[in-house]
């Protein structure tokens, strides 16, 4: 119930059934739910069982009179704030004072006017509503003070109504009273992604946000959610910003990225030189090359290219850990993208017999994702199928279909050795390889599937594997289509 609504459950207590029926008819006609009790003891039982929003209480009753019922209700924390209107034939001032001392909120004398009864009920229910909201707000404010996340609650104009102690610390303003300040003022020192203007214009209920401040030592990075709390007509009523400190995580990601990048570049420089000289030798730039030696040179060049591809994967992986991936993407026709990646993989594994089967319906919607990143996912899964193939002829089936919420599922099935159940739990982990006993005979360093997982998760998709030993493996992932409705809490870009 809100303050403008008429309604609620009302307990009518009177030892005359005719009086109870009369009051119930009036209340029910006005939209209230009613419960009846015919003496003081029954009234206390009904309050405990029914939890009414308001009580109309007669004073002169058998067993326990109205004054005693009122006192007992006020002594119980669970019913201490339930509004009580005493309806009585007693007209003496002393009786009214007695009722007020017992805890009554209002009085009506018999016979009463229907309009006056309904007006007083509505007024007391509104007071109860506001009192309840205030109590909840005070409890909420007390609870959030000790949470590890920062919490900011604003009104519809983005003026701060409630802010936790942790929020003031994370925002670098621990000693200031920030209530009443504008949200834009609080986050002014930070780079906000998405922008504040984008958040103002967005009608999405919940949005992922990041705040970065790099003029501090060390830099401060915060991440969390901005949530719209809407009124009955969809208008902004309140806004909530809940965030946590991810500075240490960002620093760790940077160290990992810098390390992998440094190692990769250090490897790539001499590798480029080796590859260049081998190419010149193969071309005969240093004289005629005997056929037997030419074959060995070509093998060396293939291995140099294989190592170069591994280094590119490491560099790609290092870049992914350093920043939040772009979630908004282009509209990508999957047919062309899959065909390009099939050709690339086939060229990479020259000499392998491959039977391709690509089944992408002509009416399959376009995928909504960054084309380059989507291509990496498909390429890594196809490369994985070729890499672990253990049969003379490799068979790879690529199937695309539309699933719930008009998302697209892309599945890549192979006829390789399959994946054991225990292996599926870690197959998408960083640097994981499931080559039995880790012989090292499988090319790669275990970043292909972990990179694919990171990319798929960046656009809100799912990636997994179905397999059994000896029966091949089916890797599949989902990606939004051009028709997929916005998910709860996507990023918006300003």
pLDDT tens sequence across 410-429? 999 999 888 776 656 667 76
pLDDT of the residue at 295: 87
pLDDT digits (tens, 9 = 90+) for 199-208: 888 777 788 8
pLDDT value of residue 145:
64
pLDDT digits (tens, 9 = 90+) for 310-336: 777 666 655 554 444 444 457 899 999
Residue 434 has pLDDT above 80, yes or no: no
Positive/negative CA dihedral, 116, 118, 120, 123: negative
Q: What is the mean pLDDT of residues 169-176?
A: 89
The overall average pLDDT reported for the chain is 81
| Cα–Cα distance measured from residue 158 to residue 166, given in angstroms and rounded to the nearest whole number | 19
Higher pLDDT, 330 or 33: 33
DSSP state of 246: -
Question: Residue 286 — very low, low, confident or very high, per pLDDT cuts 50/70/90?
Answer: confident
Residue range 330-479 in CATH 3.40.50.1000: no
pLDDT at position 315 is 67
Of residues 213 and 490, more confidently modeled: 213
- In this prediction, residue 198 has a pLDDT band, given cuts at 50, 70 and 90, of confident
Residue 91 has pLDDT above 70, yes or no: no
Of 34-38, 267-271, 286-290, the poorest mean pLDDT is in 267-271
Superfamily of domain 145-245: PAS domain (3.30.450.20)
Check residue 318 and give its pLDDT: 58
Give pTM, 2 decimals. Answer: 0.44
User: 447 forms bridges with which residues in the sheet?
Assistant: none
Could you tell me which residue, 442 or 49, shows the higher pLDDT?
A: 49
- Residues 442 and 416: beta-carbon distance below 8 Å: no
- Chain centre to alpha carbon of residue 421: 29
Whether the per-residue pLDDT at 483 is higher than 60: the answer is: yes
From 110, 130, 93, select the one nearest 20 (Cα to Cα). 110
Q: What's residue 107's pLDDT?
A: 84
- pLDDT band at residue 47 under the 50/70/90 scheme: very high
User: What pLDDT is recorded for position 436?
Assistant: 45
| Phi, then psi, of 419 in degrees rounded to 5 | -125, 130
Count of CB atoms situated within 10 Å of the CB of 433: 22
Residue 445: predicted pLDDT: 42
Q: Tell me what pLDDT residue 424 has.
A: 62
Q: Stretch 8-28: mean pLDDT, rounded?
A: 91
Predicted pLDDT of residue 355:
92
Instruction: List the structure tokens of 420.
Output: 């054991």
- Would you state the pLDDT for residue 221? 93
pLDDT category, 1, cuts 50, 70, 90?
A: very low
- Average pLDDT (5-24) is 86
9-141 with 145-245: one CATH topology? no
In CATH, the architecture of 9-141 is 3-Layer(aba) Sandwich (3.40)
Residue 382, judged by CB atoms within 10 A of its CB (0-12, 13-18, 19+), counts as: buried
Query: Would you say residue 404 has pLDDT above 60?
Result: yes
The pLDDT value recorded for residue 133 is 65
What are the strands of the beta sheet with 150-155, ordered from one edge? 160-163, 150-155, 236-245, 220-230, 206-213, 191-193
Beta strands (DSSP E) in 89-219 are 106-109, 150-155, 160-163, 191-193, 206-213
Query: Is it the case that residue 347 has pLDDT exceeding 90?
Result: no
Residue-level pLDDT at 46: 93
Phi, psi at 325, each rounded to 5°: -70, 150
Examine the pLDDT at 297 and tell me if it is beyond 80.
yes
| pLDDT tens-digit series, residues 129-163 | 766 666 666 656 666 666 778 999 999 899 998 88
pLDDT tens-place string over residues 444-478: 445 678 888 888 888 889 999 988 777 889 999 99
What average pLDDT score do residues 61-88 get? 87
Domain residue ranges in the chain: 9-141, 145-245, 250-320, 330-479
């Amino acid at each position: 119930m809100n303050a403008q609504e008429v309604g609620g459950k009302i307990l009518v207590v009177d030892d005359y059934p005719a009086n109870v029926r009369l009051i119930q008819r009036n209340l029910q006609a006005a939209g209230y739910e009613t419960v009846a009790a015919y003496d003081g003891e029954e009234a206390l039982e009904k309050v405990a069982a029914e939890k009414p929003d308001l009580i109309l209480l007669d004073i002169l009753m058998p067993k326990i009179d109205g004054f005693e019922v009122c006192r007992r209700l006020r002594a119980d924390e669970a019913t201490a704030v339930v509004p009580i209107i005493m309806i009585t034939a007693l007209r003496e001032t002393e009786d009214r004072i007695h009722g007020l001392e017992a805890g009554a909120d209002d009085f009506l004398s018999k016979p009463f006017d229907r309009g006056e009864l309904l007006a007083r009920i509505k007024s007391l229910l509104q007071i109860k509503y506001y009192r309840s909201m205030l109590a909840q707000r005070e409890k909420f404010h007390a609870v959030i003070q000790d949470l590890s996340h920062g919490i900011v609650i604003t009104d519809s104009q983005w003026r701060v109504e409630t802010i936790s102690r942790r929020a003031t610390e994370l925002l670098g303003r621990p000693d200031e009273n920030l209530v009443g300040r504008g949200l834009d003022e609080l986050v002014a020192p930070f780079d906000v992604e998405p922008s504040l203007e984008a958040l103002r214009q967005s009608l999405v209920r919940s949005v992922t946000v990041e705040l970065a401040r790099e003029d501090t030592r060390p830099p401060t990075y915060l991440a969390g959610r901005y949530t719209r709390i809407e009124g009955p007509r969809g208008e902004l009523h309140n806004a909530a910003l809940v965030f946590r400190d991810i500075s240490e995580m960002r620093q760790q990601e940077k160290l990992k990225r810098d390390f992998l990048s440094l190692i990769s570049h250090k490897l790539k420089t001499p590798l480029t030189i080796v590859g260049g000289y081998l190419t010149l030798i193969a071309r005969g730039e240093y004289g005629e090359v005997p056929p037997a030696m030419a074959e060995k040179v070509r093998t060396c060049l293939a291995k140099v290219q294989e190592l170069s591809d591994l280094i590119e994967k490491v560099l790609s992986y290092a870049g992914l850990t350093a920043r939040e991936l772009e979630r908004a993407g282009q509209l990508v026709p999957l047919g062309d993208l899959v065909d390009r990646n099939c050709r690339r993989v086939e060229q990479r594994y020259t000499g392998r017999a491959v039977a391709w089967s690509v089944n992408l319906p002509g009416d399959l919607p376009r995928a909504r994702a960054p084309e380059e990143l989507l291509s990496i996912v498909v390429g890594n899964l196809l490369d994985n199928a070729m890499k672990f193939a253990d049969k003379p002829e490799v068979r790879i089936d690529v199937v695309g279909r539309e699933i719930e919420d008009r998302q697209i599922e892309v599945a890549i099935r192979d006829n390789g050795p399959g994946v054991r159940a225990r292996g599926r739990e870690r197959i998408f982990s960083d640097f994981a390889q499931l080559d039995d006993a880790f012989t090292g005979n499988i090319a790669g360093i275990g970043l292909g599937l972990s990179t694919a997982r990171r990319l798929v998760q960046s656009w809100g998709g799912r990636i997994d594997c179905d397999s059994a030993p000896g029966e091949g493996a089916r890797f599949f992932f989902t990606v939004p289509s051009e028709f997929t409705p916005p998910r709860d809490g996507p990023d918006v870009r300003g």
